[in-house]
């Protein structure tokens, strides 16, 4: 009987059935290489050790459940089914569960998301806003039945019973918790009914607290215009919410103490300040009263009319002295002016004419000062101290000054 001849397709199919029957599901440990996340959402990579390698694929619907993003060089354990990709004739592992080796899956996802959000600036101190010192309403996002809300209500009731606490109940763990928490934060911002939001839950494992490590919660906190205090777990627990929030509180009780002023302490402080203010004012009043008594004991304030009369008398005396001084000054200036007038009078032309001199001018009114200005038969006007004459030149005397005052 002739040997059976297989088509390539049939042989590959048989090999696939043999492999899948022999290895229904297996765990494989190795190092990731050639990692590729396709646009379809499927993930392709190779798992290898020192002696061999195997191609792996994670379908999109399985990959959506991953808490971390695989990368080259990462050592992992993969759980899946061995099969054959008939198109290329290569066997591969279809992975349904992938776990990091040496570090927990959730811890790895936490570190990856923390690094991503930090690089985007969600943890930057510049974005954080101060917590109001005297809020009138506080919003609390937490489970309505957990220990966290009881702690918060106890602290706020003791420190400031007048402050209104508005609780937005949410699931704090489970598949829908992150969505409820982010919706509550955005809801408070939409309604704008509180001054600060406390995001809180009690302690638990990393899995229990995981809702507060989800990216959608982190972005809701970052987008919040209302200051957010994160109080998740115990003091040693840290969540992504703690890094994004405007302030981290180690416990829910501490968050309440931060958000709510101690009205008893404030009232005591106000009483102390009021006492200091009263003491200061009384001291100031006493000092002003002493000063008033000192001023009122002065002579001028005891007999003000007499002081005014003395000042008026002094004013009259000063006016009299001023008048005397002004009169003296006026007389002195008058005598000086008279003396200057007499001197001016002595050198005036009329005074000179009074001493026997005469003023001579030609018919044109030009003063004649020299014989060279006239000729025989010229007519001249001669002015005396009193009156004058019109004369005619009959003779020129160049030497007429000889014999006058010894000339």
CATH number (domain holding residue 244): 3.40.50.10550
What was the pLDDT predicted at 1? Answer: 45
pTM exceeding 0.75:
no
In a domain, 286, yes or no: no
Q: Does residue 142 share a domain with residue 98?
A: no
In a domain, 364, yes or no: yes
Total domains present in the chain:
3
A 10 A CB-CB count for 331 gives 10
Q: Does residue 255 share a domain with residue 157?
A: yes
Q: Does residue 230 share a domain with residue 144?
A: yes
In a domain, 361, yes or no: yes
Where does a domain end: 50, 81, 102? 102
What was the pLDDT predicted at 141? Answer: 95
What was the pLDDT predicted at 299? Answer: 67
- Per the structure, the complete domain to which residue 37 belongs is given by 8-102
pLDDT tens track for 273-327: 888 898 899 889 989 988 888 877 776 666 777 778 788 888 888 999 999 899 8
In a domain, 229, yes or no: yes
pLDDT tens track for 20-70: 666 678 888 888 888 898 898 899 998 888 888 889 999 988 888 777 788
Residue with tokens 């989800």: 214
What was the pLDDT predicted at 142? Answer: 94
What was the pLDDT predicted at 223? Answer: 94
Q: How far is residue 29's CA from residue 182's CA, in Å, rounded to a whole number?
A: 37
φ, ψ at 227 (rounded to 5°): -55, 140
Q: Does residue 70 share a domain with residue 164?
A: no
Where does a domain end: 102, 121, 144? 102
Among 60-74, 99-113, 237-251, 338-352, name the most confident range: 237-251
> What is the pLDDT confidence band of residue 102, given thresholds at 50, 70 and 90?
low
Q: Which two tokens stand for residue 318?
A: 């000063």
pLDDT tens track for 109-144: 788 888 888 888 999 999 999 999 889 999 999 999
- Please report, for the domain that includes residue 80, its CATH number: 2.40.50.140
In a domain, 38, yes or no: yes
Residue with tokens 């043999």: 18
What was the pLDDT predicted at 139? Answer: 95
In a domain, 126, yes or no: no
Where does a domain end: 237, 261, 285? 261
Q: What does the DSSP assignment read for 131-181?
A: PPSS-SEEEEEE-TTSHHHHHHHHHHHHH-TTSEEEEEE--SSSTTHHHHH
- 189, 152, 146: which is closest to 171 by C-alpha? 146
Q: Does residue 82 share a domain with residue 12?
A: yes
**Contact residues for 91 (Cβ-Cβ < 8 A; gap 6+):** 15, 19, 54, 55, 82, 83, 84, 85
Q: Does residue 141 share a domain with residue 60?
A: no
CB 231 within 8 A of CB 177: no
What was the pLDDT predicted at 99? Answer: 81
């Amino acid at each position: 009987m002739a040997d059976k001849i297989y088509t390539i397709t049939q042989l590959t199919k048989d090999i696939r059935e043999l492999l899948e029957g022999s290895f229904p599901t297996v765990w494989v440990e190795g190092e990731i290489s050639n990692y590729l996340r396709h646009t379809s959402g499927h993930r392709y990579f190779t798992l290898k050790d020192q002696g061999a390698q195997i191609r792996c694929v994670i379908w999109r619907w399985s990959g959506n459940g991953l808490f971390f993003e695989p990368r080259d060089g990462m050592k992992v354990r993969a759980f899946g089914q061995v099969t054959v990709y008939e198109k290329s004739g290569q066997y591969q592992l279809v992975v349904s569960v992938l776990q990091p080796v040496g570090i927990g899956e959730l811890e790895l996802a936490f570190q990856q998301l923390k690094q991503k959000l930090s690089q985007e600036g969600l943890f930057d101190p510049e974005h954080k806003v101060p917590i109001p010192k005297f809020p009138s309403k506080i919003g609390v996002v937490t489970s309505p039945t957990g220990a966290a809300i009881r702690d918060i209500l106890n602290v706020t009731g003791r420190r400031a019973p007048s402050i209104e606490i508005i609780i937005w109940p949410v699931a704090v763990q489970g598949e829908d918790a992150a969505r409820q928490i982010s919706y509550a934060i955005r809801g408070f911002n939409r309604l704008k009914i509180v001054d600060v939001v406390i995001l809180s839950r009690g302690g638990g494992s990393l899995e229990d607290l995981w809702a507060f490590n989800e990216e959608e919660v982190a972005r809701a906190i970052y987008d919040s215009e209302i200051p957010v205090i994160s109080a998740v777990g115990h003091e040693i627990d840290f969540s992504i919410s703690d890094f994004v929030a405007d302030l981290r509180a180690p416990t829910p009780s501490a968050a309440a103490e931060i958000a709510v002023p101690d009205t008893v302490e404030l009232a005591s402080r106000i009483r102390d300040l009021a006492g200091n203010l009263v003491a200061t004012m009384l001291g100031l009043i006493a000092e002003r009263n002493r000063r008033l008594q000192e001023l009122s004991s002065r002579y001028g304030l005891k007999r003000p009319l007499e002081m005014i009369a003395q000042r008026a008398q002094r004013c009259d005396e000063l006016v009299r002295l001023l008048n005397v001084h002004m009169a003296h000054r006026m007389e002195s200036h008058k005598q000086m002016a008279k003396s200057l007038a007499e001197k001016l009078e002595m050198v005036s032309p009329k005074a000179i004419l009074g001493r026997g001199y005469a003023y001579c001018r030609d018919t044109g009114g030009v003063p004649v000062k020299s014989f060279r200005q006239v000729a025989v038969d010229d007519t001249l006007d001669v002015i005396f101290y009193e009156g004058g004459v019109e004369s005619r030149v009959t003779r020129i005397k160049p030497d007429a000054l000889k014999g006058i005052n010894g000339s």
